[in-house]
Chain A
C-alpha cells in the first residue's frame, strides 16, 4: 500500500501524513481512495424525509463551447449537480488536441486539458456544419435550460444555431456567449488568445521584474476566470427563470472580465482615473524581510516586516538586540541601508538553515503573513491539502487513474457527488440521441455512417 493512501476512508491524520508523504508513483495507483471529503462538524447529514441534493440539481446544460472558458464554465456547473451534455466535432474539439498528454501520447482521449475540463460531462459528437447536425443541436437545446458557447461572435448564428434560433418560441432559455471582445464594438472580430487577452485587458504589463519583459499569469487563468464569471451570470439568469421570469443572453467578453480583474487591475484603473498615473511593475523583495527568499530546499515569500510583529520577527531570527536600534521603529523605506543589510544577512542565514515548510510554520507562529513557493510536486505532497481531501481520484478508461484538482466549495447542506471521468469521444451519442431525443435507430446508424454523428 502506498504510504498516505487511505482506502478505508475517514480522515487522514495530519501528523501521520507529515511523516510519510506518499511517493509520486502512488498518485496514479490510488484509484480506490475515497474522493469524498471526510465529514466536517458543520455538515448536517441528509435524512430520508430531507435528502441532501446538489446545488444545481435538475439543471440541464448544453455545452457548445470549444475552448477553455466555456469548457470550464460547464465543468463547474457539472461539479455542483447540473447535467452537462457537451457537443463536439467527431474528431474532438480543440482541448482534446492540446499538449501535454497523459504518458506523452498525443491522443484525443489523453489531452490533460480535456481530462481536466471535460470531467463530469456527457459527450455527443456531431458535425454541426451539416443541416442534420444543426437540427439535432436545436433539438438538444430545446431540452436544455442553459446553452454555453465560446466559439466567437457569429459562428453559431451562421450555422443557424445561435441565440435567435435556439430561443425562438421560448422565453426561458439562458445562453452564455463567451467571446474575446464581446458581441459588439470595433474589435469584436479580432482574434485573441490567453496571452493577448491578459496583455490587453489584465495586469500583464505590471507582472514580473521591472528589469525584464512583463510576464503572463500562469496557465489559462484569464479563460478560467471568464468561465467562472459566466457560471455566475448563468446562475443569476437561472434564478430569475426559476422565479417565473424570463431568460437572458449573457454577452461575456474576456477582454472585459480581464479589465474587471481584481488582481490589481480594477483598483489600478480607478487609481489611473483618479490621478492620471499608470501602474508599473514592482520589484519583488523591496523593504526589509519582505518577498521571495531562498530556504534550504526552495523558496519562501514572507512579509517579514509589519509594525505589528517586527520585534517578534527580529527575535525569531535571533536578533532581538536590533529591536533597540533607532531604525527599528521606522517604516522600511526610511531605514538605513546598513540596518537593512544587517537584518537581511542574518535572515538569509536563518532561512538557509531551514526547509521552506519550517520557515512558513515558524513565521506563521509569530503572526507573519507569508507562504512557500510550491511546485506542483510540493502541492501534491502537502499534508494540509491531502488531509483535507482536496484531490479527486478519477479513473479514466483510456488514460487510467490519477489525482485531479478537486472541489472548490464545501457545502453543509448540498452534496457534490463523485466525479465521472472525461467522456470518450461520442460516448453518449446513443444514450442522448436515441434514448433521450428519440432519434430513430436506423437514422442514427445512417448518420454515423455519413459522419454527421461520430462513430
Chain B
C-alpha cells in the first residue's frame, strides 16, 4: 500500500557528530545525513585532514591539470581552479559532505575538548574512524563520553580493531584490503599483485555497514533506552565479501585464486575490447543457449568449434576463447553492442567512465544525479542517493558546507556559548573558516 502523503525522512530528529577522516567514516555520516540526520562534522582548522577535506596534493592549477590529464580525478576542483579556498572545492570532500554542517573544533586542545563534550551532550550518535590511539589521547573514548551522555551511540571504525596486535596499525582502505585477501583475489590471473593498483572497496563496504549498524543501534535505543559502543573494524566489515572463498580454504584446503575477470563456472566472462581507445564491454555467458545468442549477434560460429561447444569446453579453453571473442567485439561500438546483446538476452554491459555515467539514460530517467549550487563553487551534478523509497521521496537538501560554515549556529544556538566565549575561541585560533597561512604553505 502506497501512502498518498510523502513521509518525513526516517532519521529526522537524530543528531550525529562526526570525527571522521579519509573516506570510510565520512561515508557513514553522508548516508545518515541523506536520510534526515543532522550531521555535524567536527573538524580542526589548525590541521588539514588529508583526503576528507583536501587532497594531499598541493593545490595549484598546474597540479590540478596534471591530475586531470592523468585521470586521478577524485580531488579535482571546479574547472581545475583551486581558488582561494581549495578545501571547500575538492570533489573528495564535496562528494560526501552534502547535507552536513561543519563546525571547527580542535578536540585535542582543552577548550576544544570542552566544547566537544558539550556537543556530545546534544547528539545521539558519534561516528569516528581514527587510529584508536588518537581517540584515546584525545580522551573521547566511549567510557569517557558515556559519562557525559549515557544514551550516546558511538560507532568506532578502526582499520583492524580496538584490541589485538594490529590495533594501531595505520592504513588506507587499499592496505586493509591487502590484509584480508581482497587484493590477492582481484589480481590478474597471470600477473603478481604488483600490477593490480590500489582500490578502496573496503571504504565503500564500511560506509553502508556503518550506516546499517547505527540505525540498528538507534532501534535498540528506542526499545531499551540504552546507547552503546559499536566496534566495526574495516577489515572485519569486509569479510562477508570473501565468504565463499574463506570456506574454499576451510572446507577444501584451497587458497582463493587471483580471479582477474574469471568466474568459477562461466565462460566467456570478462571484458572485451570495442572500437575506440581503451573501450570495453563486459560479457557474462552462463549457458550454451546464451553463447549461441552471442554468436548470432556477432555473426560468428564459435559455438561450432569443439573447443567452445560446451560450457565445460569453454572453461578449459578460456584463453583461446577470450582471444577469439576479443577479435569479434573489437570493431563494435560498446553501447550499440550492449543494446543488441541485451535484445538477444545476453548479459552484457559497457564499461562506463564517469562522463558516460553523467550521460546515462537510465540514471537520467530515474533522476539519480542531484543538481546542487554551492556558494563560490557553482552549480554541478552530484552523485545521488543509494536507493529510493516509494513513500519517502528524497533529495539532497543542502550543498556541502564550507569549513566552519555552521560555527555560529552550533556554538551559539546549539551549545549555548555566549558571544564573548565564542569570540575567545576565534581569537585562540580554534574557531574560524579558513586554515592559517603557515599551515597552507606547509600543506603536505
Contact = CB atoms under 8 A, between A and B. Distances in A.
B252 interface: yes
Contacts of A181: 362
Interface in B39-89: 58, 64, 68-80
A439 interface: no
A235 interface: yes
Interface stretch (B112-120, B193-201, B411-419, B423-431): B193-201
Interface stretch (B99-107, B167-175, B299-307, B402-410): B167-175
Contacts of B169: 360, 364, 371
A325 to B, nearest CB: 19
A68 B317 CA distance: 28
B10 A373 contact: no
Contacts of B353: 205, 272, 278-279
A279 B179 CA distance: 26
A262 B246 contact: no
B91 A267 contact: yes
A415 B348 CA distance: 43
Interface in B139-155: 142-143
Nearest to B10: A236
Given A76-B212, A196-B282, A261-B204, A185 B387 contact: no
A249 B194 contact: no
Interface stretch (A83-91, A133-141, A221-229): A221-229
A411 interface: yes
Nearest to A285: B194
B241 A242 contact: no
Contacts of A232: 31, 208, 211-212, 215, 386
A365 to B, nearest CB: 10
Contacts of B199: 203, 207, 217, 263-264
A225 B250 contact: no
A407 B237 CA distance: 8
Nearest to B346: A191
B21 interface: no
B318 interface: no
A262 B175 contact: no
Nearest to A166: B1
Contacts of B174: 301
Interface in A178-216: 181-182, 184-187, 190-201, 203-209, 212-216
Contacts of A99: 264-265
Nearest to B141: A42
A129 B237 CA distance: 37
A27 B184 contact: no
B314 interface: no
Interface in B322-367: 342, 345-358, 361-363, 365-366
Contacts of A285: 194
A100 B256 CA distance: 11
B398 interface: no
A169 B194 CA distance: 58
Interface string A262-293: 11111111111111111111111100000111
Contact of B347 (A98, A192, A307, A384): A192
Q: Bin the interface of chain B by size.
A: 35 or more
Interface in B377-425: 380-392
A441 interface: no
Nearest to A99: B264
Contacts of B347: 191-193, 196
B341 to A, nearest CB: 9
A319 interface: no
A212 B188 contact: yes
B136 interface: no
A251 B249 contact: no
Given A209-B195, A215-B186, A275-B77, A404 B243 contact: yes
Interface string B262-273: 011100011101
B95 A267 contact: yes
Contacts of A75: 240
A414 B362 contact: no
B135 interface: no
Interface stretch (A2-10, A338-346, A375-383, A445-453): A375-383
Sorted nearest first, the 6 A-B pairs with minimum C-beta distance are: A280-B71, A196-B349, A267-B74, A218-B185, A271-B73, A272-B354
24 contacts: A28-B250, A55-B216, A184-B365, A185-B365, A196-B284, A207-B199, A212-B191, A219-B185, A225-B208, A228-B205, A239-B218, A269-B383, A270-B94, A271-B76, A272-B355, A275-B73, A301-B174, A371-B179, A373-B193, A376-B245, A377-B255, A403-B246, A405-B242, A411-B230
Given A375-B256, A405-B243, A412-B142, 13 more contacts: A55-B217, A187-B361, A199-B351, A233-B387, A235-B219, A263-B200, A274-B380, A275-B78, A283-B197, A303-B172, A364-B170, A380-B250, A404-B250
